[in-house]
Structure 1
């Protein structure tokens, strides 16, 4: 009996701890969300400093409870605020932490996003070769994910990179690539829609043909039945005529 009670108490303690951890990470999520409402382009310096305080408070909670996803998001948020403050060294450092954690988690989507953010910081400090390398890596990874959304996002970053660098031709090429990708998907969707419509039409035609064949079969069956009834009626009439003839013939005798 005491063993069962110990097991029950252990389960209760485990559930209580999970609920407590959840409540704390929700608190950290809320702190980060408050920070993001303050950290906007053109925000006052005081608001950006306050945003950092909120994010750091959340960071301690995520770290305490080993919430990897929360930590990664917090690194991104801190990097964002430092980027807005034009504190590029700090911004780059936190984006690198986000990238490293994303790689540890094998989170391709956020590896790409951290590379794009790193590229933006490096572009602002005119470290163009390294920014270009990050964009190239991001584009390569985006190609491994189905769909074009990430490729379009990377191409937009490439267009901004070349615009800031003053290379209008390459910026235009990136925008052309976006148009090409979008158009290709539109054509593929239209082709798929046409195929679906064609299959639907073929199915409808087959159903019409089956209905027509069934109707013809029914009509033929009814015709045969009518002909059969008519034949029987003629035979009956003929038989009656013979009977009548025989009866009349006997009477005359």
Structure 2
């Protein structure tokens, strides 16, 4: 190949290299600086410090935001469970036999703490001890509803002392209410002592139903002290036979529910469900409708813990319907908490969003 031909080849190769470089640069310039496509307008002539475009992450989806919203409420369930316990002692609070007379004679009731204490002191000083005991019980109930547990306990003790001094039968009511308040407040030794006193009185009077009800409450104290085997036997071997002898169906449903709670405390959910199904069947048979929402909720909760989410969903939905009829807002909140979790896990985002809305509405109202 002569020198002239070599120069010609060099020119052709150089031209091709220049053309390829220009073409590659053109392709690079045509490529969007934000591959995601969210940033479409920018100054391509910018030559300062930093990138021409700051590429941001794409906007979050509605589902991702919902997942984060559910994480926010995750640690609050213990407070809801505590509120359910609190609701139980309010519902189980017993009035004294003179409660109607007190409401007629002292209408309206005192409005301030000082007025309450002055009235009770006046009754004590005048030796109207049964009335003093009754008023102390009424004021303790008012304090309990305001969640002032320690003051409520002090008033119940005051009323109980008045009832014991007078020999009034009101002392059994005050002992019952005081024992429940002790249990809720974690005073397990005092709660146990009070229930044992109540049990002895019931045995002396041969009140079989009172004996059975007290045994169930003793079992709950034992369970909170982690004496689970003793708690189970107290209900199964001592309370159940008394309910059967007296044909007290309401009491037996009450005992079955609390026995299931004792098994749930031990994370024995299969056993808990077995007793809950018995409670549900008996409640349906004997038309004890007021216990059904809690039974359905407890059944659903055990299924939820066992990760049997499809069955749990159906049972939570039943419980929700029953709680709505009763307008039981605490139970509605507990159901919305867990039912929403299930909807979210199963990808039912529309219902999950609806349950979350109900959850926050109820939580803000109750707490």
Is this a same-fold pair by TM over 0.5? yes
CA-CA distance at 1:33 after TM superposition: 2.2
CA distance 1:185–1:76, change in 2 (3 Å): closer
In the alignment, the residues of structure 1 paired with residue 182 and residue 281 of structure 2 have an alpha-carbon distance, to the nearest angstrom, of 35
Q: Which residue of 2 aligns with 1:97?
A: 197
Correspondence for 1:121 among 206, 213, 221: 221
Q: Determine if contact 2:213/2:251 at 8 Å carries over to the other structure.
A: no
- After superposition, the C-alpha distances for 1:61-107 in whole angstroms (9 at most, x for unaligned) are 2111212x322222222222222221111111111111111111222
- Number of residue pairs matched by the alignment: 161
Q: Which residue of 2 aligns with 1:108?
A: 208
Task: Say which SS state the counterpart of residue 264 (structure 2) adopts.
Answer: helix
Residue 146 (1) aligns with residue 247 (2): yes
The structure in which a higher percent of residues are helix is 1
Correspondence for 1:131 among 201, 226, 231: 231
CA distance 1:62–1:129, change in 2 (3 Å): same
Q: 4+ residue runs of structure 1 moved beyond 3 angstroms?
A: 182-186
Q: Which residue of 2 aligns with 1:57?
A: 158
Q: Determine if contact 2:136/2:158 at 8 Å carries over to the other structure.
A: yes
In the alignment, the residues of structure 2 paired with residue 123 and residue 70 of structure 1 have an alpha-carbon distance, to the nearest angstrom, of 28
Question: Structure 1: which 5+ residue stretches go unaligned?
Answer: 1-19, 187-253
**TM-score, normalisation: structure 1:** 0.58
CA-CA distance at 1:139 after TM superposition: 1.2
Q: Which residue of 2 aligns with 1:87?
A: 187
CA distance 1:185–1:70, change in 2 (3 Å): closer
- After superposition, the C-alpha distances for 1:152-204 in whole angstroms (9 at most, x for unaligned) are 11111111111111111111111111233234447xxxxxxxxxxxxxxxxxx
Question: Structure 2: which 5+ residue stretches go unaligned?
Answer: 1-125, 288-367
**TM-score, normalisation: structure 2:** 0.41
Q: Determine if contact 2:209/2:248 at 8 Å carries over to the other structure.
A: no
In the alignment, the residues of structure 1 paired with residue 167 and residue 191 of structure 2 have an alpha-carbon distance, to the nearest angstrom, of 22
Task: Compare CA radii of gyration and give the structure with the larger one.
Answer: 1
Task: Say which SS state the counterpart of residue 245 (structure 2) adopts.
Answer: coil
CA distance 1:83–1:99, change in 2 (3 Å): same
CA distance 1:30–1:166, change in 2 (3 Å): same
Residue 35 (1) aligns with residue 140 (2): yes
Cα RMSD of the aligned pairs, angstroms, is: 2.1
Q: Determine if contact 1:82/1:90 at 8 Å carries over to the other structure.
A: yes
In the alignment, the residues of structure 1 paired with residue 158 and residue 286 of structure 2 have an alpha-carbon distance, to the nearest angstrom, of 44
Q: Which residue of 2 aligns with 1:9?
A: none
Q: Determine if contact 1:72/1:102 at 8 Å carries over to the other structure.
A: no
Task: Say which SS state the counterpart of residue 143 (structure 1) adopts.
Answer: helix
In the alignment, the residues of structure 2 paired with residue 71 and residue 168 of structure 1 have an alpha-carbon distance, to the nearest angstrom, of 38
Task: Say which SS state the counterpart of residue 246 (structure 2) adopts.
Answer: coil
Task: Say which SS state the counterpart of residue 97 (structure 1) adopts.
Answer: helix
CA-CA distance at 1:116 after TM superposition: 1.2
Within a 5 Å distance, the mapping from 1:1-253 to structure 2 comes to: 23-39=128-144, 43=147, 47-67=148-168, 69-136=169-236, 137-185=238-286
